[in-house]
């Protein structure tokens, strides 16, 4: 194996400052596997690293969503072989002994280092990963689908594990990006009575995908009043569960307004750096459960692999762009124009 590989590197803070470089292939340590990357998911985080709105510690290889094939196995690793098709969780250097690790949440361990923001990520041909974070893929999951498992695991963790959908819930998803489209599908899979999704005129393409994926009510808030529609659809009671994926004050407040008393909000969307105004009093008086969530637990990765294996979840419909790794900048430009639902880069 030639010891150099192509990688997309953020060289220093500031707008863009990203280059395709030849770098050393990482060494496979005793407890690790070296993975030949086959597909890379382009995350909103990567785009915000490009625009420099996300904190990073350059120089580093960006990216964190991927799938691949094992190219080398560390000498302490017994449960993987060269050639295994895999994906990997991202809780690198989680301690294994703190309260969060002990309760199955290494993703919020204080020692954790995130690939693509704190340490080298995966916009590259190879990455080394601790073997205890790696999951095998079944044969009927493609590399492209597998590259989108990480965001799906975020949704499974926040929506199924933390907030918990209940039987016959009327669910409203606010924000039809890839996270919202995943939440909409999981609401259908896990027992929602009806699911509505709300977006704006700029989301037209995403709203069409929601419709194609079987969403019961697709609402364009630039044209119609979502509050009035949800009120009517729930006979004046309000929604049981809102999944907030927009991170905007408008989205959060319309969620608070459209929930019934004792309704639940699953908060996944991350607001920008500015403080936002939230109708807190209304949330208190309605006795709402507001569940904020972040990242994905190990269990949620198992769940998503199982959903994909039994073809319950459609990730292919979210993939709007497939491009070679060299075209990373084109994909970010497309993202800036609002044309991307989910992009996959192929090294
Ligand atoms: Zn991501
Ligand atoms: Zn820990």
Residues pairing with 177 in the sheet: none
In CATH terms, the fold of domain 4-148+315-346 is Quinone Oxidoreductase; Chain A, domain 1 (3.90.180)
Which letter does DSSP use for residue 140 in this model?
T
Identify residues whose C-beta is under 5 A from ligand 1, the ion.
43
Q: Quote the CA–CA distance of 76 and 283 in Å, as a whole number.
A: 52
- Please name the residue that has the structure tokens 């010891």: 3
Q: Quote the CA–CA distance of 89 and 111 in Å, as a whole number.
A: 15
Which letter does DSSP use for residue 324 in this model?
E
- Which tokens go with 64? 């964190």
Domain boundaries, the chain: 4-148+315-346, 153-292
Ligand 1 midpoint to CA 85 (Å): 20
- Residue of 184, 167, 166 lying closest to 175 (CA atoms): 184
DSSP for 200-242, please give it: -GGGHHHHHHHHHTT-SEEEETTTS-HHHHHHHHTTTS-EEEE
Q: Quote the CA–CA distance of 224 and 39 in Å, as a whole number.
A: 39
Which letter does DSSP use for residue 202 in this model?
G
Q: Compute CA 64 distance to the chain's CA centroid, rounded to the nearest angstrom.
A: 10
Stated pTM of the model: 0.95
Ligand 1 midpoint to CA 179 (Å): 10
Ligand 1 midpoint to CA 90 (Å): 10
Contact 117, 54 (CB under 8 A): yes
Q: Which ligand is nearest to the CA of 154?
A: 1
Q: Compute CA 300 distance to the chain's CA centroid, rounded to the nearest angstrom.
A: 12
Per-residue pLDDT of the chain (347 residues; tens, 9 = 90+): 579 999 999 999 999 999 999 999 999 999 999 999 999 999 999 999 999 999 899 999 999 999 999 999 999 999 999 999 999 999 999 999 999 999 999 999 999 999 999 999 999 999 999 999 999 999 999 999 999 999 999 999 999 999 999 999 999 999 999 999 999 999 999 999 999 999 999 999 999 999 999 999 999 999 999 999 999 999 999 999 999 999 999 999 999 999 999 999 999 999 988 899 999 999 999 999 999 999 999 999 999 999 999 999 999 999 999 999 999 999 999 999 999 999 999 99
Strands 170-174 and 239-244: parallel
CATH 3.40.50.300 correct for 153-292: no
Biggest alpha carbon–alpha carbon distance for the chain: 66
Q: Which ligand is nearest to the CA of 100?
A: 2
């Amino acid at each position: 194996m030639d010891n150099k590989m192509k990688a997309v590197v953020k060289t220093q803070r500031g707008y863009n400052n990203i280059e395709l470089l030849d770098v050393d292939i990482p060494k496979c340590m005793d407890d690790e596997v070296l993975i030949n990357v086959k597909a890379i998911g382009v995350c909103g985080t990567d785009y915000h690293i490009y625009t420099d709105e996300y904190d990073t510690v350059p120089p580093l290889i960006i990216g964190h969503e991927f799938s691949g094939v094992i190219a080398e196995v560390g000498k302490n690793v017994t449960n993987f072989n060269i050639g295994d098709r895999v994906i990997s969780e991202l809780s690198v250097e989680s301690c294994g002994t703190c309260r969060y690790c002990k309760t199955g949440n290494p993703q919020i361990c204080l020692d954790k280092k995130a690939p693509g923001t704190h340490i080298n990520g995966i916009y590259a041909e190879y990455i080394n990963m601790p073997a205890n974070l790696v999951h095998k893929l079944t044969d009927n999951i493609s590399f492209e689908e597998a590259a989108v498992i990480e965001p799906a695991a975020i949704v499974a963790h926040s929506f199924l594990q933390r907030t918990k959908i209940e039987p016959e819930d009327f669910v409203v998803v606010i924000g039809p990006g890839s996270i919202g489209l995943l939440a909409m599908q999981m609401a259908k899979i896990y027992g929602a009575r009806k699911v509505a999704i709300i977006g704006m005129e700029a989301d037209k393409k995403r709203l069409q995908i929601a419709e194609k994926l079987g969403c019961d009510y697709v609402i364009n808030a630039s044209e119609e009043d979502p509050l009035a529609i949800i009120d009517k659809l729930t006979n004046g009671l309000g929604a049981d569960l809102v999944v907030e994926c927009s991170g905007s004050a408008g989205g959060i407040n319309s969620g608070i307004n459209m929930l019934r008393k004792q309704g639940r909000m699953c908060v996944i969307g991350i607001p920008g750096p500015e403080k936002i105004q939230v109708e807190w009093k209304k949330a208190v008086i309605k006795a709402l459960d507001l569940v904020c969530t972040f990242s994905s637990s190990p269990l949620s990765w198992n769940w998503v692999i199982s959903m994909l294996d039994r073809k319950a979840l459609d990730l292919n419909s979210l993939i709007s762009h497939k491009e070679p790794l060299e075209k990373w900048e084109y994909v970010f430009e497309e993202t800036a124009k609002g044309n991307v639902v989910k992009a996959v880069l192929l090294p």
